[in-house]
Structure 1
Amino acid sequence: MGTQNRLSQETANLNRRSFLKLSGMLGVGLATGAMIPLTAEAVKFNRNMYKVSRTRLSMGTFVSMTLLHPSRDKAEEAMGAAFDEIDRLSGLMNRFKTATAVGELNREGMLNSPPPEVLGVVRDALSFYRVSKGAFDISVAPIVDLFKERLGSGNKAAPTEAEIKKLLRRVDAGAIVIEGKNIRFRKPGMTITLDGIAKGFIVDRAAEILAGRNIDNFLINAGGDIRTKGERQDRKPWTIAIQDPQKKKHYPDIIHMRNGAIATSGNYEVYFDQEKMFHHIVNPRTGLSPHADASVSVMAPTTMEADALSTSVFVMDPGQGIRFIDSLPRYECLVLSAAGGIKRSRGWKSASI
Structure 2
Amino acid sequence: MRAARKLAFLDSFETAYSVMQIFRFSFSAMACRCEIVIGYEVTQTSHDAQHELQQSAQNSAQLAIAEVRRIEAKYSRYRPESVIGVINQAAGKKPIDCDAETWTLLEYADTLYRSSGGLFDITAGVLRRAWNFSHATLPTEQTLVELCSLIDWSSLERQDQQIYLPRQGMELDFGGFGKEYAADKAAVVLQAQQVRCGYVNLGGDIRVLGPKPDQQAWQIGIQDPRCTDQIIASIAIERGGLATSGDYQRFFELDGRRYCHIVHPRTGWPVEHWRSITVIAPLTTMAGSCTTIGMLKQENCLDFLHQAGVDYLAIDHTGQLHKNH
Q: TM-score, normalised by structure 1?
A: 0.80
Report the CA distance between 1:277 and its aligned residue.
4.0
CA distance in 1, matches of 2:266, 2:277: 19
| Mapping for residues 1-353 of structure 1, pairs under 5 Å | 40-45=8-13, 49-69=20-40, 70=42, 71-109=53-91, 112-148=96-132, 152=134, 157-247=137-227, 250-271=230-251, 277-318=258-299, 320-329=300-309, 331-344=310-323, 348-349=324-325
Change in CA separation of 1:78 and 1:103 when aligned onto 2, cut-off 3 Å = same
Report the CA distance between 1:332 and its aligned residue.
2.1
Q: Is the partner of 1:287 in helix, strand or coil? A: coil
- AA aligned to 2:31 is G
Larger mean CA deviation between 275-284 and 187-196 belongs to: 275-284
| Poorly superposed stretches of 4+, deviation over 6 Å | none
Report the CA distance between 1:76 and its aligned residue.
1.3
CA distance in 1, matches of 2:229, 2:137: 33
Report the CA distance between 1:249 and its aligned residue.
5.6
Change in CA separation of 1:268 and 1:63 when aligned onto 2, cut-off 3 Å = same
Change in CA separation of 1:157 and 1:249 when aligned onto 2, cut-off 3 Å = closer
Aligned residues, how many? 304
Q: Spell out, residue by residue over 1:282-310, the C-alpha distance to the aligned partner (whole angstroms, 9 max, x if none).
A: 11121111011111111111011111111
CA distance in 2, matches of 1:297, 1:336: 9
Larger mean CA deviation between 213-222 and 67-76 belongs to: 67-76
> What's the % identity of the aligned pairs?
24
- AA aligned to 1:163 is T
Q: Is the partner of 2:26 in helix, strand or coil? A: strand
CA distance in 1, matches of 2:10, 2:228: 33
Report the CA distance between 1:111 and its aligned residue.
5.0
5+ residue gaps, structure 2, are 43-52
Report the CA distance between 1:96 and its aligned residue.
1.0
CA distance in 2, matches of 1:213, 1:276: 48
Report the CA distance between 1:226 and its aligned residue.
0.7
CA distance in 2, matches of 1:189, 1:133: 24
CA distance in 1, matches of 2:314, 2:204: 15
Q: Spell out, residue by residue over 1:117-175, the C-alpha distance to the aligned partner (whole angstroms, 9 max, x if none).
A: 33222221111111111121111111122212xx64x5x54211111011111111212
Structure 1 counterpart of 2:50: none
Cα-Cα RMSD:
2.2
CA distance in 1, matches of 2:227, 2:166: 43
Report the CA distance between 1:180 and its aligned residue.
2.2
CA distance in 1, matches of 2:38, 2:234: 21
Q: Is the partner of 1:316 in helix, strand or coil? A: helix
- AA aligned to 1:193 is D
Q: Is the partner of 2:231 in helix, strand or coil? A: coil
Change in CA separation of 1:221 and 1:215 when aligned onto 2, cut-off 3 Å = same
> 1:38–1:57: 8 Å Cα contact kept in structure 2?
no
More strand by share: 2
Change in CA separation of 1:164 and 1:180 when aligned onto 2, cut-off 3 Å = same
Larger Rg: 2
Change in CA separation of 1:245 and 1:157 when aligned onto 2, cut-off 3 Å = closer
Report the CA distance between 1:230 and its aligned residue.
1.6
Report the CA distance between 1:176 and its aligned residue.
2.8
Report the CA distance between 1:326 and its aligned residue.
0.8
> 1:147–1:272: 8 Å Cα contact kept in structure 2?
no
Name which structure has the greater RCO, CA cutoff 8 Å, separation 6+: 1
5+ residue gaps, structure 1, are 1-36
Report the CA distance between 1:334 and its aligned residue.
2.0
CA distance in 2, matches of 1:105, 1:254: 41
Q: TM-score, normalised by structure 2?
A: 0.86
> 1:92–1:118: 8 Å Cα contact kept in structure 2?
no
